[in-house]
Structure 1
C-alpha cells in the first residue's frame, strides 16, 4: 500500500520502481486523493460519501442524546453539550442575527458547525485519514444549502425588494448605478459562495497534503533511504508530523467555525433593511 501501509483507500506516495536502480519518492499531489477500489455500487458511493453519511448520523445521534435527561445541575456530559450549544448560540447566532432572528436559524447553524467539524476531524483518525471536504463537491453541497437559505430568508423578509437591497446600497446616486450594480451582484451572488466553498476545500486539502509530505517523506527517509543524515531527517520529519497533526486539529475546528460565522453573517445581511 505504501511506506506506511495505512488502511485507507487512497494512493499514498510510494518508492518508485526504477528498474533496479535506486528507488525514489513520489511527492504528494492531487493524484494521492484518488481512490483505489470502492464500496461497491455506483461510483459516487465512495469514501467521502460514506464519511458524510456517517458524520450526519453521528451528529444527529449525539444531539438527540444531548437533549435527553436534562437536569438543573448538569452532569459532565450535559455541561460539555451545553458548552458547545451556547458557543454557537451566543457566539455566532445571537451576535450575528440579534435577539429577534437568531432562534429561527440556530438549529441550522448548530448542525452546520457540528457536521463540518466532525467531517474535518475524520482527516485525523488513522482508519480514515481523509477530510471529507478535501473533495470539493461536498464543500459545494454545503455552500449551495447556505446560499439557498440566506437568499430565501431575504426574499421571505423583504419580498422582491431584497434584490434591490443586495444590488443597490442606500444613497448611491443614479450616475453610479451602472458601476455599483455589477459589483454588488458579483460580491453578493457570486464571490460569496465561491470563496465560502474554496476556503473550506483549500484549507482541508492543503493541510492533508502537508501531513502526507511529512509522514510519507519521513517514513521513506527513515526506512528506505541510506545514510545517517537521511535517517535522522526522516525521524525528525515523523516527530514533527505530530505538530502538523495538532495544527490540523486547530485548522479543522477553525474552518468549521469560520464557515458557520460567515453563514450567519450572510443570513443577517439578507435580513437587514438596507446595505
Structure 2
C-alpha cells in the first residue's frame, strides 16, 4: 500500500472517530454556579452581566470623578461617549430641554446594552449578557414605562386618547383603529425592542461558536489536509468577530434611539 493511500485511509478513519460539537441553545441556559435550586441562583451568564455592570460603573466613576478643564485621554474618551448620546440621540430627537430631561435614562440604556453586548466577543466570557431574555426585557420595560411617563406628564388627560384615537379619522373607523393602535403602541413596541436585541445576540453567539468549533474540529480533531478548511473557518470566525463588534454598537444605538423616538412621540402635541 502506498504512503498516499495509507494517509488517505488514516484521514478517513480519523474523520469517522472525530466528533463535531455544534453550538446548542442549551448554552443560554447554563447550570447554576451559586445558590442552585433557589430563586437567587446565579449562572455563568449572570456573573458576566454583573461583571459588565461593574466595569461600566467603575469606568464612569473613574472617568468623571475628577473632571479637568483640559481633559486627559481617559476623560476625553468618557466625554466623547457621553456626548455621542447627548448630541446624536437625546438633543437630535428630543431637543435640548426634553433631551436633557431624559438624558440619564438614554445614556444608561445605551452603555448598558453596549457593554453587555461586547462580552460576547471577549475571550473567556464569549457570551453576551443580553443573549438571555431577562436583560432585553428589563430594558424594554424601562423604555416602555419612560414612554408612558413622558406622555402622561406632557398631556395628563389626553395622552391615551391621542395615542389610540388619531385626529382626523371618521368616528366609525375608531372601532378598528383603537384596537390596532393599542396593539401597535402598547404591546408590539416593548416586544419588538426585546426580541430585536435578544435575537441578534443569540444568532451572533451561535455563529461565532459554529465557526470556532468547526476550526477546532478540522485542525485538531481531523488534522491533515482538513486543516485547510480549518484555516478558512478560522478566518471567517475572526471576520465575524469584527462584525459582531459592529453589531454590538448598532444594537445599543438602535435600542436607545427607538426609546428616544417613542419619548418624542409621547411628548409631541398630537400622536
Tell me if both proteins adopt one fold, taking TM over 0.5 as the criterion: yes
Query: 1:135 corresponds to which residue?
Result: 132
Query: 2:80 corresponds to which residue?
Result: 83
Within-5 A mapping of 1:1-275: 22-36=17-31, 38-41=33-36, 42=38, 44-225=41-222, 227-228=224-225, 230-275=226-271
Q: What secondary structure, in the 3-state scheme, does the structure 2 residue paired with 1:164 have?
A: helix
Are the counterparts in 2 of residues 59 and 111 from structure 1 also a CA contact under 8 Å?
A: no
Looking at structure 1, the residues matched to 29 and 230 of structure 2 have their Cα atoms a distance apart, in angstroms, of 26
Looking at structure 1, the residues matched to 149 and 45 of structure 2 have their Cα atoms a distance apart, in angstroms, of 29
1:136-179 CA-to-partner distances (Å, cap 9, x unmatched) read: 12211111111111112211221131101111112111121111
More helix per residue: 2
Looking at structure 1, the residues matched to 66 and 234 of structure 2 have their Cα atoms a distance apart, in angstroms, of 45
Superposition TM-score, scaled by structure 1 size:
0.87
1:43-88 CA-to-partner distances (Å, cap 9, x unmatched) read: 6311232222222222222222222222222211121111111100
Looking at structure 2, the residues matched to 227 and 62 of structure 1 have their Cα atoms a distance apart, in angstroms, of 47
Looking at structure 1, the residues matched to 147 and 53 of structure 2 have their Cα atoms a distance apart, in angstroms, of 22
Aligned pair count reads 254
CA RMSD of aligned residues (A): 1.7
Give the structure with higher Rg (CA): 2
Q: What secondary structure, in the 3-state scheme, does the structure 2 residue paired with 1:132 have?
A: coil
1:36 offset after TM fit, Å? 4.2
Q: What secondary structure, in the 3-state scheme, does the structure 1 residue paired with 2:34 have?
A: coil
Looking at structure 2, the residues matched to 227 and 77 of structure 1 have their Cα atoms a distance apart, in angstroms, of 48
1:162-204 CA-to-partner distances (Å, cap 9, x unmatched) read: 1011111121111211111111111101111111000000000
